[in-house]
Amino acid sequence: MNKVRLSTSKNTFLLLSLFFFQNLFAQDEFFEPKTTLGGYGELHYNLEKTADTPASKLLDFHRFVLFYSHTWTEKWSLKAEVELEHNFVKEGQGELELEQAHINYHHSNAFGFQVGVILPSVGLINEVHEPPVFLSVERPEYSKNIIPTTWFGNGLAVYGRKHGFDYKIAIMEGLNADGISNKSAIRGARLKGYKSNARELLYNGRVNFSPVPGFMAGFSYSQTKAMGTDIDIPLTLFEVHAQLVKKNVHMNFEWGTINYDDSDLEKSSGYYFDLGYDISTQLGINSAVIPWVRVSDYNTAASTRIGGDSEKEFHYSKWLAGLSVKPIDEVVFKIDYGVRSHDLSGQEIKLFNIGAGYMF
C-alpha cells in the first residue's frame, strides 16, 4: 500500500513539474521577435554662489543614455541600458556605465524574474529616473546621498503586481566597506558590477500599494555586510515613499535611514517633500506647466561614535522652488532656484539651475 502511495506521489510531482516547465518555456507560434531602442538625456546649467566666494557656473550634458530591448517571445526578453556621463571618458573624467543588462522572464503580471545587471528597488527614482519623471533640474540630493541613485549591480530579482500591491525582491552583489564614509554614506561603496565580491550579498525587498489610480505608497528594506580590507560593516537601509499625481497635483515624499554596525559611522538619514500643481488647465493649453516647491534635509553622518561636530559636518537642509514645462510627455524644460544650508558652518549656498531633458 505504501509503495502505491509513493508511486502516486512521485507521478503527481513529475506531472506538476512537467506542467510548470512546459508553461515556463511555452511559446506563441504567432509571436514575432522584435527589437526596440529607447533612451534619455539631459543638459544642465548650474550656478552655485556663497556670500564670500565667486559664483561657480557649469554647463554640462550630464547624461546620454541608450536603452536596448529585444523580445524573443511573449515572455522572454533582454533589457539593457548604457549611460555616458559628462560627454566623454578620459583619465577619470566622465563615466561610461552598463546600468542594466538582464534577461527578463514575464510569466504574468503576478510573477516575473530578472537575471543579470539589475537595479534594486529603493526609493522613487532608482529604477525610473528619466528627466521628465522628476520635477527638479538635478535629481533630489536625498536620492544621491542616501539611496544612492543610480544603484545597480549583478544579481537576480523576482517581481509582480496583484490586487493593488506591487513587489520586488532582489539578491545582488554587496558593498565595499572601504568606500563607506561620513561624507558620502554608501555611495562610494557601490561595486557597479565590476568583479564584485560575492562573499556577502545584498538582500533587497520592496512593496508598493496603489489603492486608487494616481496614488502609490510603499517601503523598501535592504541589508548586507559590506566587506572591506580591514573591517566589515553590517548595515541596513530602510525607506518609505509616497507619490500622488492626480487632478493636476504632483506630490512626492521619501524618507530613509541607513544603520551601520561595527563602524565609527552609525547612521545616515534624510528626506524630501515635493509639492507641485499643473496650471495648464487654467492657462488653457495642452502642455504641462508645473510650478513646484521642495523641502529636504539629509545627513550622511547623522550619528557617529565620536558625536559632537562630526554629526553636523555633513548635515544639510535645503529649499527649492521651480517650474517644469512639458510640451509633450517625453520632453521637459526646467528652471529652479533655492538655498542649501550647512548645519556646522551656517553657510548658505544659493543655487540656480536650468535644464532640458527628453526620453523616448
Write out pLDDT tens, residues 257-287.
999 999 999 999 999 999 999 999 999 999 9
Higher model confidence: residue 14 or residue 43? 43
1 falls within a domain: no
Higher model confidence: residue 231 or residue 52? 231
Pick from 3-12, 41-50, 251-260, 279-288: least confident: 3-12
From the number of C-beta atoms within 10 Å of its C-beta (0-12, 13-18, 19+), residue 211 rates as exposed
345 falls within a domain: yes
pLDDT at 322 over 50: yes
pLDDT at 7 over 60: no
pLDDT mean across residues, the chain: 93
pLDDT at 54 over 60: yes
Cβ proximity of 201 and 172 under 8 Å: yes
Domain containing residue 328: 31-359
12 falls within a domain: no
Express as a percent the part of the chain with pLDDT over 70.
Answer: 92
14 falls within a domain: no
278 falls within a domain: yes
pTM to 2 decimals?
0.90
pLDDT at 359 over 70: yes
Measured CA to CA in angstroms, residue 172 lies from 151, 235, 290, 293, 331 at distances of: 11, 15, 38, 36, 33
pLDDT at 23 over 60: no
11 falls within a domain: no
pLDDT at 163 over 80: yes
pLDDT at 34 over 70: yes
Output the domain CATH number for residue 43. 2.40.160.10
Give the model's pLDDT for residue 31.
Answer: 84
Give the model's pLDDT for residue 29.
Answer: 67
pLDDT at 2 over 80: no
C-alpha cell at 242: 509616497
24 falls within a domain: no
Give the model's pLDDT for residue 92.
Answer: 84
Give the model's pLDDT for residue 4.
Answer: 43
7 falls within a domain: no
Residues in the chain, overall count: 360
Give the model's pLDDT for residue 3.
Answer: 46
Residue with cell 530591448: 69
Give 197's pLDDT tier (boundaries 50, 70, 90). Answer: confident
Give the model's pLDDT for residue 183.
Answer: 98
Higher model confidence: residue 8 or residue 176? 176
Cα torsion 309, 314, 315, 321: sign? positive
Give the model's pLDDT for residue 24.
Answer: 54
Give the model's pLDDT for residue 227.
Answer: 97
Q: d(Cα 322, Cα 335) in Å, to the nearest integer?
A: 5
Give the model's pLDDT for residue 14.
Answer: 55
When pLDDT is averaged across residues 164-180 and rounded to a whole number, the result is 97
Residue 175 DSSP label: B
Pick from 5-19, 25-39, 251-265, 294-308: least confident: 5-19
Cα-trace Rg, the chain: 23
| Structural domain count, the chain | 1
Q: d(Cα 41, Cα 64) in Å, to the nearest integer?
A: 4
When pLDDT is averaged across residues 83-105 and rounded to a whole number, the result is 95
Helices (H), ranges, 121-215: 141-145
pLDDT at 139 over 90: yes
**Bridge-based pairing state of the strands 76-90 and 331-342:** unpaired
